[in-house]
Chains A and B, each alone.
Chain A
Amino acid sequence: MRHLLSTKTISRDEAIVLLDIAEDMADVAGREVKKLPTLRGKTVVNLFFEDSTRTRISFEAAAKRLSADVINFSAKGSSVSKGESLKDTAQTLAAMGADGVVIRHHASGAPLVLAESGWIDAGIINAGDGTHEHPTQALLDAFTIRRRLHGAASRGRDLDGVTVTIVGDVLHSRVARSNLWLLTTLGAQVGFVAPPTLLPADTSAWPATFGFDLDAAIDAGPDVIMMLRIQAERMSASFFPNPREYARGWGLDDERFARLRADSIVMHPGPMNRGLEISSAAADSARSTVLEQVANGVSVRMAALYLLLSGDREDS
């Protein structure tokens, strides 16, 4: 794997290899010495054009556990926000000898532009681009689901027949897009539930079902229900009348949580708006994987860095 830009182009076998390596990485995390020497001498740059402390810390922890040198390049408040271009930044990082660049960018497609530009030769990991994709989030979600369903017997397994309902701001969600492609590639059936204003105008190319009725989706008893975060800026742009009405229609409140199938998994990519898209009872329950997702994020990102940057990576 040369870059990790999107889940759309990842094959089932590639995904399973990555998830299995993440299992190995998770084993390391359980050891007393949590470090591997694998990426000693390699430099990983966290290039964040958008604030996301939790994602940056997760990648930083992953790189350090593999013994890589980590440079955090926060583009917010730096020369970049004063007009330095992506191109100049990339060439600077190339001159500094970056082997891997983890990029978070507000513009959809920026990681692909970086990977194909010739400005820099490093392996590129997309850590979230605009409203396009967030592949490591989808990988950690798949990893989390697989572990919940198959436990210690997870290695080598896919998600064949697993039903996943994703609820909320699908239109603006890179998490939704990356999960759509990855989970369906792994054999899961994905259904989206949202107010009509928060679904794309044309979803005909998405291999999923679409609905507006969360109660019906809950009564259908999905294996997984994933609640997406509602960003503050949606509140004032007439996507829905107000937060109260949104919560009433599309929030996983206590009543809906109580009706959910007893063994359904409750997921959220974080950070959560408690009381809006998810109630505290749901978020903090034993069925919730919110904290596991955080822990698994480090393992999955270790696996991604390993595949991109360790010696035997293909250079084509």
Chain B
Amino acid sequence: MPKERADNVEYLIRGATLPDGTRSDILLAGGRVAELGSGLSRAGASPIDADGLVALPGLVDLHTHLREPGSEQSETVLTGSQAAARGGFTSVFAMANTSPVQDTAGVVEQVLALGEQAGYVTVQPIGAVTVGLAGRQLAELGAMAASRARVRVFSDDGSCVADPLIMRRALEYVKAFDGVIAQHAQDPRLTEKAQMNEGALSAELGLTGWPAVAEESIIARDVLLAEHVGSRLHVCHVSTAGSVDVIRWAKARGINVTAEVTPHHLLLTEELVVGYDARFKVNPPLRRREDVEALRAGLADGTIDIVATDHAPHPTEAKDCEWDAAANGMVGLESALSVVHASVVANGHLDWADVARVLSHTPARIGRLDGQGRRTEVGAPAELTLYDPSASRVFGTGDLSGKGVNSPYLAMTLPGRVQATFHQGYPTVLDGALLPAAEVAAARSEVGHG
């Protein structure tokens, strides 16, 4: 049985470093940040020593595959939520490519409810743009927006909305409820049977190429469509230097476009494909060193707005096979913050305030998600992550909390460690360990009824 929790459990976090570099105690009470300052004291509050830890606003992932309903052998809303909490996230946007597809109010409300039950993070469903992700007919975007799930982000991710007329209509239609279309930019004809980045290495390895132009041409088309109809466009997992250029041009022109990059595209290159180890198979594929550098620079100068994981769990058999037969995708929630640390913080591209921006404030704003992505100030919801930047570890399966072990970082040394995560005022991770599901669900129901 879970131990009884009063709904007034309070935490006094001592000596944390805020993203701007200042040091502060943080009192979490009543589901809010109740006090900030040095030398705080509060009778009955559980003390947490945060000396040397960075206190980030709870991380928000705009691009997560939770797999439920339909592929519960890969991940469930519960296990994906656990992976998220372990990685310091307090909210995830659940992609629509489930089975059934999240293309009706009923399915998005079901996913929302599963997230609430689990209680580890806010699970905000994404709605499909087209019925069954088939690209032919708009899904009931309005009904999903008006549902209890309040969907604002729509995406056929996994597939590209390739038909320009359907894309135009979708961009226009979601203006009615301040929605955004999140495009998986991949020209389907230019990427038939594609297996890896097209270039000198694909030529040597004999793997069918996934050319950069297949991404860049769709982004170019979409930013022009967004400009023409005055809509909001979000570009998923930007992976090439050319895409960064197109988005930079579009922003300079005043087009309302935002873009994300994944942690793996910030750190890893196509060279990893040489051994045909399917853990490195992902869509869009790992690119060249020049692309990685351009993505880092684009994130640093604001051309790319956010980091999103594209967490894509698969059962082991989907990766334990020859390259062509393997599934695309990597798990990324648990490792995201460490990979961002390694790829753009350690070398000075981003500071911790930037990390708070790209992994919390801005993704919440793009997704129009209330109660997430707020600065740590008095009165803000108690959504908080304590990160130890001085730690270092050889990343292993013990660091994973979801069902998938298809991480590209296994056996790699990664910096940092998430020490604690607080969601709605209660902890989901303490001392680097995930709290048990029953305890979290109990805390969640206290809040829900409180």
Binary per-residue interface labels of chain B (186-218) against chain A in the complex, 1 for a CB within 8 Å, 0 otherwise? 000000000100111111111111010000000
With A108-B206, A133-B206, A174-B206 as contacts: A204 and B200 at CB distance below 8 Å = yes
In the bound complex, residues from chain A placing their C-beta under 8 Å from that of B411 are none
> Is the C-beta of A197 less than 8 angstroms from some C-beta in chain B?
no
With A107-B322, A109-B323, A110-B322 as contacts: A132 and B198 at CB distance below 8 Å = no
Within 8 A of B (CB), among A145-204: 174, 177, 200-204
- Which residue of A112, A174, A201 contacts B203 across the interface (Cβ within 8 Å)? A201
> Is the C-beta of A87 less than 8 angstroms from some C-beta in chain B?
yes
- Which residue of B195, B204, B209, B322 contacts A201 across the interface (Cβ within 8 Å)? B209
- Which residue of A131, A204, A206 contacts B206 across the interface (Cβ within 8 Å)? A131
C-alpha spacing A177/B200, complex, angstroms: 13
Cβ B204 vs Cβ A112 within 8 A: no
Cβ A201 vs Cβ B211 within 8 A: yes
Cβ B322 vs Cβ A202 within 8 A: no
Cβ B198 vs Cβ A201 within 8 A: yes
Cβ A112 vs Cβ B325 within 8 A: no
Interface SS of chain A: loop
In the bound complex, residues from chain B placing their C-beta under 8 Å from that of A133 are 206
> Is the C-beta of B317 less than 8 angstroms from some C-beta in chain A?
yes
> Is the C-beta of A85 less than 8 angstroms from some C-beta in chain B?
yes
Chain B contributes a number of interface residues (CB within 8 A of A) equal to 24
Within 8 A of B (CB), among A107-137: 107-110, 112-113, 116, 129-133
Q: Give, as a whole number of angstroms, the nearest-CB distance from A264 to chain B.
A: 27
With A201-B199, A202-B199, A204-B200 as contacts: A109 and B205 at CB distance below 8 Å = yes
Who on chain B is nearest to A171 by CB?
A: B203
In the bound complex, residues from chain A placing their C-beta under 8 Å from that of B72 are none
> Is the C-beta of B348 less than 8 angstroms from some C-beta in chain A?
no
C-alpha spacing A87/B199, complex, angstroms: 30
Cβ A130 vs Cβ B200 within 8 A: no
With A108-B276, A109-B276 as contacts: A202 and B203 at CB distance below 8 Å = yes
With A109-B205, A132-B206 as contacts: A87 and B320 at CB distance below 8 Å = yes
In the bound complex, residues from chain A placing their C-beta under 8 Å from that of B320 are 85, 87
In the bound complex, residues from chain B placing their C-beta under 8 Å from that of A130 are 206-207, 324
Most B C-beta atoms less than 10 A away, residue of A109, A200, A206:
A109
> Is the C-beta of B450 less than 8 angstroms from some C-beta in chain A?
no
C-alpha spacing A108/B198, complex, angstroms: 15
- Which residue of A85, A105, A174 contacts B317 across the interface (Cβ within 8 Å)? A85
C-alpha spacing A112/B321, complex, angstroms: 11
Within 8 A of B (CB), among A73-109: 85-87, 105-109
> Is the C-beta of A205 less than 8 angstroms from some C-beta in chain B?
yes
Who on chain B is nearest to A173 by CB?
A: B206
- Which residue of A86, A113, A129, A202 contacts B200 across the interface (Cβ within 8 Å)? A202
> Is the C-beta of B275 less than 8 angstroms from some C-beta in chain A?
yes
In the bound complex, residues from chain A placing their C-beta under 8 Å from that of B207 are 108-109, 130-132
C-alpha spacing A113/B211, complex, angstroms: 25
Who on chain B is nearest to A176 by CB?
A: B206
- Which residue of B198, B200, B322 contacts A109 across the interface (Cβ within 8 Å)? B322
In the bound complex, residues from chain B placing their C-beta under 8 Å from that of A200 are 200, 202-203, 209
- Which residue of B201, B204, B206, B211 contacts A129 across the interface (Cβ within 8 Å)? B206
Who on chain A is nearest to B278 by CB?
A: A113
- Which residue of B198, B275, B323, B324 contacts A202 across the interface (Cβ within 8 Å)? B198
Who on chain A is nearest to B323 by CB?
A: A109
In the bound complex, residues from chain B placing their C-beta under 8 Å from that of A108 are 195, 205-207, 276, 323-324
Q: Give, as a whole number of angstroms, the nearest-CB distance from B308 to chain A.
A: 29
Q: Give, as a whole number of angstroms, the nearest-CB distance from B282 to chain A.
A: 16
C-alpha spacing A200/B199, complex, angstroms: 8
Cβ A105 vs Cβ B322 within 8 A: yes
In the bound complex, residues from chain B placing their C-beta under 8 Å from that of A129 are 206
With A86-B322, A107-B323, A107-B325 as contacts: A205 and B203 at CB distance below 8 Å = yes
Q: Give, as a whole number of angstroms, the nearest-CB distance from B169 to chain A.
A: 30
Cβ A132 vs Cβ B205 within 8 A: yes
Q: Give, as a whole number of angstroms, the nearest-CB distance from B192 to chain A.
A: 9
Who on chain A is nearest to B201 by CB?
A: A205
Cβ A177 vs Cβ B204 within 8 A: yes
With A105-B322, A108-B324, A201-B211 as contacts: A113 and B202 at CB distance below 8 Å = no
In the bound complex, residues from chain B placing their C-beta under 8 Å from that of A110 are 276, 322-323
Who on chain A is nearest to B273 by CB?
A: A109
Binary per-residue interface labels of chain B (29-69) against chain A in the complex, 1 for a CB within 8 Å, 0 otherwise? 00000000000000000000000000000000000000000
In the bound complex, residues from chain A placing their C-beta under 8 Å from that of B317 are 85, 87
Cβ A107 vs Cβ B324 within 8 A: yes
Q: Give, as a whole number of angstroms, the nearest-CB distance from A197 to chain B.
A: 13
Who on chain A is nearest to B213 by CB?
A: A201
Who on chain B is nearest to A205 by CB?
A: B200
Q: Give, as a whole number of angstroms, the nearest-CB distance from B35 to chain A.
A: 56
Who on chain A is nearest to B209 by CB?
A: A201
In the bound complex, residues from chain B placing their C-beta under 8 Å from that of A177 are 204, 206
C-alpha spacing A110/B320, complex, angstroms: 11
Most B C-beta atoms less than 10 A away, residue of A107, A133, A203:
A107
Binary per-residue interface labels of chain B (261-283) against chain A in the complex, 1 for a CB within 8 Å, 0 otherwise? 00000000000000111000000
C-alpha spacing A106/B345, complex, angstroms: 42
Who on chain B is nearest to A8 by CB?
A: B204
Who on chain B is nearest to A204 by CB?
A: B200
- Which residue of A87, A116, A203, A206 contacts B321 across the interface (Cβ within 8 Å)? A87
C-alpha spacing A121/B71, complex, angstroms: 34
Q: Give, as a whole number of angstroms, the nearest-CB distance from B328 to chain A.
A: 15
In the bound complex, residues from chain A placing their C-beta under 8 Å from that of B325 are 85-86, 107
Who on chain A is nearest to B211 by CB?
A: A201
Cβ B203 vs Cβ A206 within 8 A: yes
C-alpha spacing A112/B211, complex, angstroms: 25
Q: Give, as a whole number of angstroms, the nearest-CB distance from A270 to chain B.
A: 20
Binary per-residue interface labels of chain B (86-128) against chain A in the complex, 1 for a CB within 8 Å, 0 otherwise? 0000000000000000000000000000000000000000000
C-alpha spacing A200/B322, complex, angstroms: 22
C-alpha spacing A105/B276, complex, angstroms: 14
C-alpha spacing A113/B200, complex, angstroms: 21
The 7 closest A-B pairs by CB, nearest first: A109-B276, A132-B206, A200-B203, A131-B206, A107-B324, A108-B206, A107-B322
Residues of chain B having any CB pair with chain A under 8 Å: 195, 198-209, 211, 275-277, 317, 320-325
Q: A113-B277, A131-B207, A205-B203 are in contact. List 17 more A-B contacts (CB 8 A).
A: A86-B322, A107-B322, A108-B206, A108-B324, A109-B207, A110-B276, A113-B323, A116-B275, A129-B206, A131-B208, A177-B204, A200-B202, A200-B203, A201-B198, A201-B211, A202-B200, A205-B204
> Can you name 26 A-B residue pairings with CB atoms under 8 Å?
A85-B317, A85-B320, A85-B325, A86-B321, A86-B322, A86-B325, A107-B322, A107-B325, A108-B205, A109-B207, A109-B276, A109-B323, A110-B276, A129-B206, A130-B324, A132-B206, A132-B207, A177-B204, A201-B198, A201-B199, A201-B211, A202-B199, A202-B202, A205-B201, A205-B203, A206-B203
